[in-house]
A and B are shown apart, each in its own frame.
Chain A
């Protein structure tokens, strides 16, 4: 690992007409790190990544990739980065190996097509037309196209969106293998699970800005609670209030969203009895009770008051 950042972004700005997509964003990704941009759809993740990839010109700010700038060294940067865009449809009529041979031919040095096919586990499909691949296979081929130039920095924009759980797990293994070679990954996602599993550090992006940055553990710890208890009450629930609930034993905070309550909890074994006692005392009927370890989703909710999926 070298000390120079693989990717450094300063004061990035981009607006499409009235809509500000990226609003003064700073990033530093050291070499060898897997960095995640996490946020809801429309948060500006894709625009940020596409500016970094040299596909979109920013209105302001600076991007430095592997010590180079797009304005003076575009070709050299392209030779050293690999990209999987959010929605590329590769040519349906080519086979897997023909597609990879094409992409390989663009790079002065890179990996053997056969090796890359093996890495993405498409050996049995090497002679199949792209049009006949499943969604997960297509996505792995897209990553293979990014790997064939043997990049030092890999950009993955929503690599598992729309994939089934098994295909998603295969994609994660692929990224973990690449990470194991000590190279840098920048990925965007709106799946917390993905960010928590793959990323050393995560930036939570909302409305074109980074609103939180750190390791997944740090971000979750910043909630001040390790667990989340969610419940919904029936008759009498309207009388509940956040300050009373937040002051219960083992609870550090409470918020409500359309009658569904969410408690941030430091100690579940104390909070649950306290909650049940409180509800019984107030004669509130308990309809639903759930508890889970705090996730990045909870971090996002506590920071923005909105859920990632429907924000």
Chain B
């Protein structure tokens, strides 16, 4: 490496590691966020549904019905009288009220009272009905086998870690270039450097090289933490993950450079960076699936670089998808990298 490029790159690393704030937001913050989300959404045993069986005051409920419900491990059951029943249902303390008619017995009649708009009420209805009917002697025509699945890869923490990684790559890429360059311009340092025989290409290259170096640390720290603490899987190829990270660093670095091309003050560049990053934080599916947004938004959302990187990382880490599966996403990110650099270099203000 030429001495000037080496010196410029060293300067980038020094400036980064001597800024405690930058180090915190780049390395510690994503890990704290992952811990918080991992703990908040940790795996709990399935919740029991609470249902009530109405009994007239002084009477006893039909024993087979109550026994059948209590025998189902998905339910907790209480007996409840007329007046209490209405308020329990209204406040949601019980999901479903079972009203056996007076002449209960074989061939008897049962009424379910519930709010159809509530998911757990509908679930309770299915479970209660299943318990009552099968105890009553219903024979299922189709034999059902069940195998319960709960493994790493399908939990919220698994979903969110690739999102956090992508968000971090975006943040540090855009900040790393955008803010540093505008700050150098504001200080007239850029002007001073341009007055030397310094190669402008090497100046910009030093930002990219240092970005890639910091990126290795960022990725290793966050993914290592997620793996050892939460057991977040890494099913795809490491080479493929590396390639995705590289392309995304270039894409976000390019966007950062583009943001920094003209701005003269750090206030202006802060505003621009937020303007660019905010829509991606919201739309790109970092914290929840971007498919929740209306269909009309989807082409726009898919074209965002953060969406592409989030999707490529999830496909690779969680599904173990191969190169061909992430190719479209990588093409989108690469297009951002090429496009933003081409425009930025054309309109860059060196003074």
Chain A positions near chain B (C-beta within 8 angstroms): 53-56, 75, 78-79, 83, 85, 87-91, 93-94, 98, 101-103, 105-108, 145, 149
In this complex, the interface size class of chain B, counting residues with CB under 8 Å from chain A, is 20 to 34
Binds A, one of B36-44, B185-193, B261-269: B185-193
Contact B189–A91 (Cβ < 8 Å): yes
Whether the Cβ atoms of A102 and B195 lie closer than 8 Å is no
When the two chains form their complex, are residues A93 and B192 in contact, meaning their CB atoms are under 8 A apart?
A: no
Listed stretches B13-21, B52-60, B144-152; interface member: B13-21
B194 at the interface (CB under 8 A from A): yes
Q: List 14 A-B pairs, Cβ < 8 Å.
A: A83-B192, A83-B196, A85-B191, A85-B192, A90-B192, A93-B15, A93-B18, A98-B11, A103-B196, A105-B3, A105-B4, A105-B7, A106-B197, A145-B192
Chain A residue contacts of B192, Cβ below 8 A: 83, 85, 88, 90, 145
Residues of the A chain whose Cβ atoms lie less than 8 Å from the Cβ of B3: 105
Using a Cβ cutoff of 8 Å, how many contacts connect chains A and B? Answer: 67
Identify B19's interface contact among A79, A93, A102, A105, CB under 8 A.
A93
Does any Cβ of A come within 8 Å of B86's Cβ?
no
Residues of A within 8 A of B14 (CB): 93-94, 98
A85 with B15: CB separation less than 8 A: no
Residues of A within 8 A of B8 (CB): 102, 105
Give A54 to B196 CA distance when docked, in angstroms.
Answer: 10
User: Chain A residues near B4 (CB, 8 Å)?
Assistant: 105-106
**Chain B 161-202 against A: per-residue CB contact (8 Å), 1 yes, 0 no?**
000000000000000000000001001110111111110000
Of chain A, the residue at the smallest CB distance from B198 is A106
B238 at the binding interface (Cβ < 8 Å):
no
Residues of chain A with a CB closer than 8 A to B198's CB:
106
Whether B351 is near chain A, meaning CB under 8 Å from some CB there, is: yes
Bound Cα distance from A261 to B56, whole angstroms: 115
B6 is an interface residue with CB less than 8 A from chain A? yes
Q: Which residue of B lies closest to A77 (CB)?
A: B197
Which partner residue on chain B sits nearest A80 by CB separation?
B197
In angstroms, how far is the closest chain A Cβ from the Cβ of B174? 20
Query: Do A89 and B197 touch (CB < 8 A)?
Result: no
Q: Is B194's CB under 8 angstroms from A55's CB?
A: yes
- Please, which residue of chain B has its CB at the minimum distance from the CB of A54? B195
Q: 10 shortest A-B CB distances, which residue pairs?
A: A89-B187, A105-B7, A105-B4, A78-B197, A93-B18, A88-B192, A106-B196, A106-B198, A105-B3, A83-B195
Given contacts A88-B187, A90-B189, A94-B14, contact A149 B7 (CB under 8 A): no
How many Å from the CB of A311 to the closest CB on chain B? 25
Contacts of B196 in A (CB 8 A): 78, 83, 103, 106-107, 149
Q: How far is the CA of A4 from the CA of B183 in the complex (A)?
A: 40
A55 touches B11 (CB 8 A): no
Cβ–Cβ < 8 Å partners of B6 in chain A: 105
Interface pair A102/B197, CB less than 8 Å apart:
no
Chain B residues with CB under 8 Å of A103's CB are 196
| Distance in angstroms between the alpha carbons of A106 and B6 in the assembled complex | 11
A108 vs chain B, min Cβ distance (A): 8
Q: Given A55-B191, A55-B194, A55-B351, A102 and B15 touching (CB < 8 A)? A: no
Task: Give B202 Cβ to nearest chain A Cβ, in Å.
Answer: 9
Identify the closest chain A residue to B194 (Cβ): A55
- Quick one: which of A75, A94, A149 contacts B11, CB cutoff 8 A? A94
A108 to B194, CA, bound (A): 16
Q: In the complex, A157 Cα to B196 Cα: how many Å? A: 16
Residues of B within 8 A of A102 (CB): 7-8, 11
* CB–CB B195/A101 < 8 A: no
Closest beta carbon of chain B to A118's beta carbon, Å: 21
List the A side residues contacting B195 at CB < 8 Å: 53-55, 78, 83, 85
**Interchain nearest-CB distance for A43 vs B (Å):** 20
User: Assuming the A-B contacts A55-B351, A105-B3, are A91 and B197 also in contact, with contact meaning beta carbons closer than 8 angstroms in the complex?
Assistant: no
| A149 to B192 CA separation, bound complex (whole angstroms) | 14
Interface set, chain B 1-37, CB cutoff 8 A to A? 3-4, 6-8, 10-11, 14-15, 18-19
Whose C-beta in chain A lies nearest to the C-beta of B203?
A106
- Note all chain A residues with C-beta closer than 8 A to B193: 106
Residues of B within 8 A of A85 (CB): 188, 191-192, 195
Q: Are A91's CB and B15's CB within 8 A?
A: yes
Residues of B within 8 A of A83 (CB): 192, 195-196
Report the nearest A residue to B192, measured CB to CB: A88
Nearest CB of B to A265, in Å: 44
CA distance A105 to B9 in the complex (A): 12
Cα distance A142–B191 when bound, in Å?
13
User: In chain A, what residue has the closest Cβ to B5?
Assistant: A105
User: Shortest distance in angstroms between B25's beta carbon and chain A's nearest beta carbon?
Assistant: 16
Residues of B within 8 A of A55 (CB): 191, 194-195, 351
